[in-house]
């Protein structure tokens, strides 16, 4: 039966509080996710530098920026394949194996990026090698993020899924904060000439080391009790998990993809692209733009947990409606406010960063939208395909739209949030056909 997420409480929800084991699992999973996500996004903080180093020097500035964001987008376009493969085995053989493998597959290309030859040395082979490594990173993170959400949500009591997903998403955004801090440190410690010469390599080498540390940390985690119970009851899906998810839960897939669009608008535009946009649109120095981004990412980290708690209290779709509306307003205030008064960059960025924390609600909706047997595959397909489509093309779309209006980022984010708000209200008003007890989650 096709199903949609609902805010209806499940009568099977375990009443127990979070245990010490749950907290330990959440902490290790969030820390490992932070280290891996740092590896994936550090590229965006050096797009200007990478464009100068990996493309011909005579390339026009706008074209170089477009090409560099294209390399960034390639990582998102590779996510569905990695996510589908890892999710297949995650639903068949266990969550933990894929959860550990994904971080290892991220570490190797990140380290290699820091050792790449530039265009001056290798010619057109340089951007091709960079593209290859970026695709490998995308395949790895395609399994990591959905796998992490499923992993933590199946460890905690059902009434704490929002907190678990918010905390894990907070860990992922902490990886963005680490990237912003490292980028700020590099731009502060070195002159622009030194950054171009060798300083840009350090963040990638450090990222590779971070990734191997995350592999070590995940050795201490245990398989989820939900998967273990399904395995003992021989309740694992017999056909292809993805086929079962698409055949029986198409409405849940559509809703999950639309909510992922809201997540991408907040993360990609507000957090990842904006430091570069602030430099180009308002002549804000790189160090100041990155410092403000660090503050915004810190408030985002807090916001994810706050919105996760809100999802546990109000229900995920109600929390999604509140968060989408807040981000819609905050995006307009931020971009218009900075254009009028650049000196207010930090407080305005902090406010909109907190509202991007609605991203912490999105996985809480998705993990409850699919039954356990196909949860990894259904969530991974929905999230990664939507992120490849919306997240991968967003930098290109916003960059082109900037030629028409300097407020293009604000208009884009607000329009997407309006979609998220509309879908949330439809679910809230009874459009949902599903309660969790239609496909109960094994006890945990």
Q: What is the CATH number of the domain that holds 206?
A: 1.20.1250.20
Tell which residue, 342, 323, 319, 341, has the closest CA to residue 331.
Answer: 323
Tell which residue, 304, 226, 224, 318, has the closest CA to residue 271.
Answer: 304
For the chain, the first-to-last Cα distance in angstroms comes to: 25
Q: 14 lies in a domain?
A: no
Packing angle, helices 408-426 and 316-340, rounded to 10 = 160
- The alpha carbon dihedral of 319, 320, 321, 326 has a sign of positive
**How much is the pLDDT for 28?**
78
- Give the pLDDT confidence of 276-320 residue by residue, as tens digits: 889 888 888 887 888 898 899 899 999 999 999 999 999 999 999
* Pair of tokens at residue 275: 């430091």
Q: 1 lies in a domain?
A: no
413 vs 436, higher pLDDT: 413
- Give the pLDDT confidence of 66-89 residue by residue, as tens digits: 777 777 777 777 878 888 888 777
d(CA 304, CA 167): 7
d(CA 406, CA 277): 9
* Pair of tokens at residue 81: 């394949």
The single-letter DSSP state of residue 24 is: H
* Pair of tokens at residue 6: 């609902």
Q: 237 lies in a domain?
A: yes
* Pair of tokens at residue 63: 């074209």
**How much is the pLDDT for 90?**
75
- Give the pLDDT confidence of 122-169 residue by residue, as tens digits: 888 988 999 999 898 888 888 888 888 988 888 888 888 999 999 999
Q: 3 lies in a domain?
A: no
Q: 8 lies in a domain?
A: no
**How much is the pLDDT for 328?**
97
Average pLDDT of span 389-411: 86
- Give the pLDDT confidence of 22-69 residue by residue, as tens digits: 788 888 788 878 887 888 778 878 887 888 888 888 777 777 777 777
**DSSP H or E segment with residue 106:** helix 95-113
d(CA 335, CA 244): 43
d(CA 403, CA 46): 22
Structural domain boundaries enclosing 425: 20-438
d(CA 43, CA 318): 35
**How much is the pLDDT for 15?**
55
Least confident of 135-149, 194-208, 237-251: 237-251
CA-only gyration radius of the chain, Å:
21
Contact (Cβ atoms closer than 8 angstroms) between residue 410 and residue 348: no
Binning pLDDT at 50, 70 and 90, where does residue 430 land? Answer: low
Q: 172 lies in a domain?
A: yes
Whether residue 184 is predicted with pLDDT greater than 60 in this model: the reply is yes
Q: Whole-number mean pLDDT of the chain?
A: 83
Q: 247 lies in a domain?
A: yes
Burial 114-153 (b: 16+ CB within 10 A, else e): bebebbeeeeeebbebbbebbbbbbbbbbbbbbbbbbbbb
d(CA 166, CA 172): 10
**How much is the pLDDT for 16?**
65
- What is the count of structural domains for the chain? 1
Predicted TM-score (pTM) of the model is 0.80
**How much is the pLDDT for 437?**
33
Q: 29 lies in a domain?
A: yes
- 10 Å CB burial of residue 411 (0-12, 13-18, 19+) is middle
């Amino acid at each position: 039966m096709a199903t949609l997420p609902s805010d209806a409480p499940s009568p099977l929800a375990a009443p127990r509080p979070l245990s010490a084991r749950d907290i330990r699992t959440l902490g290790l999973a969030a820390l490992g996710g932070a280290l891996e996500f740092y590896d994936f996004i550090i590229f965006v903080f050096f797009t200007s530098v990478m464009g100068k180093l990996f493309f011909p020097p005579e390339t026009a500035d706008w074209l170089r920026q477009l090409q560099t964001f294209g390399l960034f987008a390639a990582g998102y376009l590779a996510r569905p394949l990695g996510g589908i493969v890892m999710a297949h085995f995650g639903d068949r053989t266990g969550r933990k194996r894929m959860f550990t493998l994904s971080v290892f597959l991220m570490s190797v290309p990140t380290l290699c990026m820091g050792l790449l030859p530039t265009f001056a040395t290798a010619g057109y082979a340089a951007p091709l090698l960079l593209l290859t490594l970026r695709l490998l990173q995308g395949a790895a993170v395609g399994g990591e993020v959905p796998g992490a959400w499923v992993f933590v949500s199946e460890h905690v009591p059902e009434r704490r899924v929002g907190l678990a997903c918010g905390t894990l998403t907070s860990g992922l955004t902490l990886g963005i904060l680490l990237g912003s801090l490292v980028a700020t440190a590099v731009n502060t410690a070195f002159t622009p000439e030194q950054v171009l010469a060798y300083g840009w390599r350090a963040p990638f080498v450090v990222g590779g080391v971070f990734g191997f540390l995350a592999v070590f940390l995940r050795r201490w985690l245990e398989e989820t009790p939900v998967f273990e119970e399904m395995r003992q009851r021989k309740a694992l899906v017999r056909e292809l998990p993805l086929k079962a998810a698409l055949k029986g839960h198409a409405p849940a897939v559509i809703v999950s993809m639309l909510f992922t669009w809201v997540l991408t608008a907040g993360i990609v535009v507000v957090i990842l692209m904006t430091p570069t946009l602030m430099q180009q649109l308002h002549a804000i120095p790189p160090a100041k733009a990155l410092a403000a981004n660090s503050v915004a990412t810190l408030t985002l980290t807090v916001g994810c947990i706050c919105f996760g708690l809100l999802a546990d209290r109000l229900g995920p779709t109600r929390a999604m409606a509140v968060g989408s509306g807040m981000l819609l307003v905050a995006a307009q205030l931020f971009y218009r406010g900075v254009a009028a008064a650049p000196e207010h960059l930090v407080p305005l960025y902090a406010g909109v960063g907190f509202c991007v924390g609605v991203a912490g609600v999105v996985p809480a909706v998705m993990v409850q939208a699919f039954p356990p047997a196909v949860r990894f595959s259904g969530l991974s397909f929905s999230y990664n395909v939507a992120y490849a489509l919306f997240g991968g093309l967003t930098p290109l779309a916003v960059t082109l739209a900037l030629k028409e209006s300097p407020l293009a980022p604000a208009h884009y984010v607000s329009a997407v949030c309006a979609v998220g708000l509309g879908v949330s209200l439809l679910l809230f008003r009874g459009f949902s056909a599903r309660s969790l007890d239609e496909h109960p989650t094994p006890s945990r």
